[in-house]
A = this chain, B = another copy of it.
Amino acid sequence: METLSLEQYGVVYNMFSFTIASMLGAFAFFILARERVAPKYRISLIVSAIVVGIAGYHYFRIMGSWEHATEYVNGAYSFNVDLFNDAYRYVDWLLTVPLLLAELILVMGLSRQKSEGLLTKLIIAATAMIVLGYPGEGAAEASSIILWGVLSSIPFAYILYILWGEVGQVIDEQGGRVGLLLKNARWLLLATWGFYPITYALPLLGADVGLIGMQIGYAIADVLAKAGFGVLIYIIARNKSDNDGYSLEIA
Residues of chain A whose beta carbon lies under 8 Å from any beta carbon of chain B: 6, 10, 13-14, 17-18, 20-22, 24-25, 28-29, 31-36, 38-40, 42-43, 46, 49-50, 53-54, 57-58, 61, 72, 75, 82-83, 85, 87-88, 90-92, 94-95, 244-246, 248-250
Contact = CB atoms under 8 A, between A and B. Distances in A.
A106 to B, nearest CB: 11
Interface centre among A10, A40, A82 (most CB of B within 10 A): A82
Contacts of A90: 14
Given A21-B92, A95-B22, A75 B82 contact: yes
Given A13-B85, A18-B91, A21-B91, A42 B50 contact: no
Chain A residues touching B, majority SS: helix
User: Copies of this chain, how many?
Assistant: 2
A247 B144 CA distance: 51
Contacts of A24: 53-54, 57
Given A13-B85, A17-B91, A72-B82, A28 B49 contact: yes
Contacts of A92: 21
A83 B73 CA distance: 11
Given A14-B85, A14-B91, A35 B25 contact: no
Given A25-B95, A95-B25, A40 B10 contact: no
Contacts of A42: 35-36
Given A40-B248, A54-B25, A91-B14, A6 B49 contact: no
Interface centre among A53, A92, A244 (most CB of B within 10 A): A53
Nearest to A53: B28
